[in-house]
Amino acid sequence: MKKNHCPIAALVGTIGLGLILLSGCATAREPQGSTANPALAERGRALASLDAYIESEMKRIKAPGLGITIVSGGAAILEKGYGFANREAGKKVDADTIFNVGSVSKLFTNAAIMKLVEAGKVDLDAPVTTYIPELSLKTRGSSFSDVTVRSMLTHHSGMPSDLARNFFFGQTAPANHTTAFRSLPMDLEGSYVATAPGTIFSYSNLSFSLLGIVIERASGMSFEDYVQEAVLKPLGMDSSSFNFKPLLSGRYSKGYLGGKQPVNMPAIRDIPAGQLSSSAHDMSLFLEAALASARGGDGLLRPGTMKAVLTQQNANVPLDFDFRIGLTWWLMDIPELPGLVVAGHGGDLPPFHSLILIVPEKDVGVEINVNNAEGAGSLELRNIAVRALRTAIALKDGGESLAPGARTSADGTPGGAASRVAPLPAVYDSSVDGWYSSGIGMLKIRHAGNALKLELSGHQLDVVYHEDGRFTLGYKLVGLIPIDIPMLRTVTFRMPEYQGKRWIAFSLSDIPFGVGEKLTPEPIDRAWMARVGKYAIRNPDQGKAFGNFAIRFDKPSGFLMLDMTELGGAVSVPIRPIGRDEFVTWGMGRSMNETGIFAPDGSSGETLEFSGFRLKQ
């Protein structure tokens, strides 16, 4: 991801990152029927309307190709492709086109773990060291034995979010691609956990790669072989794999960086966290199996196991605020689906993005894959997914059981009006003013008369209060001319109070995605000021350097900042010195509270160890 100085792009941050859609689509396994049958005719009209909506959304997000499946009542009602899998070769997407599904992979790693739980080979509440005894991280005020399998499945283990170095291999996978994650216990030696387990939801790819090792140790098989035998093969998902299959090479979609540059699927070290590739047809089988288990039948897991998977696990975690998660599946309330609990997950391995959602109460589900999405990655697929679910529910229930919803137009299109604007309540007084740290960088909130302003990367945004207690953001060119920025309309936040201070709880497209912690600058020792400067990568086996790092003093805020360009994105976060030679990235949530360590480097000074990198000033 190139560094983007637009405040809106900065706000959605590193979720993931378009030519206008060319005409034509390829269709596979789309149910057909005679228009003489009124029910089939209505189905045809509904799916045709959905077709038109999908194509308009593809133009909006500049997706060259898209694959979708919708299931209802135990069967697929749509498996279809739109646009191009390989534009240069003129190859269109169909139901068998294979996409990388990114972090949707975690649902399959979760299913493998839960199969082992059912077999009595894994205990969810056992320390992860039961299965990986050589894994040992240092802690501050907690015990590493509290890091359990369950806490890793819910992203509440306190483990670091990523080990950035060697996360990406590029478009050409090395020979050890599928086994590289096995070195993580050794690579993490001497590292710290980020927070005490159970403190806050903090998304961790690293945790899921370690769960891949748990699967290997408990099953006695390789990660890939066990997932294949226990999950994919029983469901008939013959086109799905955590590894590239040469025999299927003609069916893999190209990715399109920026919607223009064709690339192969990216290869990553953490394959249990995000390397699965699959097709619309195969994902139909997964959705059908998951929903079958949810309604008490034979499917992906035993009914009792699936019930546990879809039961909220973080009800007693205050810093999660409105966010809810089961065992890996996120649990959501979506305004366009009033009164229904939606479970799902997004996947982002740019330029590929995916989104899966199920509504167990209605026995419907949808999964979508694209080979590029401009904006907020997988969350840009939300509107298509919601429209698809409403269509499926209407066809299943005769269109009478689902109200339009708070954010739905009369024709079922997502994105209606939010609650009305209201005056800023007196409770939001000057105590909210100040600097907030989050995974998207430093934010500043300040009063401007009777209103609030939010500053991000030097840009001033209007903060608008609504009757339902949410805030939205607006932008005025040169502070005077209102500019409608579509992505900005998807951002909302609340400012709850906890532990005697204000926090910012962000949502994007109604899905909670992070918090901002209010910080107060502290005096900075002269020895730490001497460490201000640029840092170069000095790992002995680094080869071509990947990533840029710098420590700087930010005068406006009074914080030391760590500037990073790694894992495909650029971000600046405050750091807090801990003693003489250690610091943490200051804040809570993803990529926060992670440790940097300065160590002597012979007679040539010192090196900085951070996220697997060895850095030299």
* pLDDT, tens digit, 9 for 90 and up, residues 473-510: 998 887 778 888 777 778 899 999 998 899 999 998 88
How many Å separate Cα 238 from the centre of its chain? 26
The pLDDT of 167-192, averaged and rounded, is: 89
Nearest to 531 by CA among 581, 494, 480, 573: 581
Closest CA to 328 of 202, 591, 152: 152
Q: Does 17 score more than 80 pLDDT?
A: no
Answer yes or no: are the C-beta atoms of 215 and 229 closer than 8 Å. no
Identify how many contiguous H helices and E strands the chain contains and give both numbers: 14, 32
Q: What is the mean pLDDT of the chain?
A: 88
Q: Decide if domain 526-616 falls under CATH 1.10.10.350.
A: no
The answer to whether the 419-519 and 526-616 domains have the same CATH topology is yes
pTM, entire model: 0.92
SS3 272: helix
Fold of 419-519: Lipocalin (2.40.128)
DSSP string over 552-572 = EEETTTTEEEEEEEETTEEEE
Q: How far apart are CA 24 and CA 30, in angstroms?
A: 16
pLDDT band at 546 (very low <50, low <70, confident <90, very high): low
> How far, CA to CA in Å, does 408 sit from each of 109, 129, 450?
34, 48, 32
> What pLDDT, on a 0 to 100 scale, did the predictor assign at position 513?
83
> CA-CA-CA-CA torsion for 208, 382, 16, 79, nearest 10 degrees?
70
CATH 3.10.310.10 at 10-18+50-369+376-397, yes or no: no
pLDDT at residue 7 in the model: 36
Nearby residues of 480 by Cβ (< 8 Å), 6 or more positions away: none
Question: Among residues of the chain, what percentage have pLDDT more than 70?
Answer: 89
Q: Is the per-residue pLDDT at 599 higher than 60?
A: yes
* DSSP symbol at 485: -
pLDDT the model gives residue 166 = 87
pLDDT score of 569 = 67
Tokens of 132: 């990986």
The domain segmentation of the chain, as residue ranges, is: 10-18+50-369+376-397, 419-519, 526-616
Q: 261-296 as b/e, with b when 16 or more CB fall inside 10 Å?
A: ebbebbbbbbbbbbbbbbbbbbbbbbbbbbbbbbee
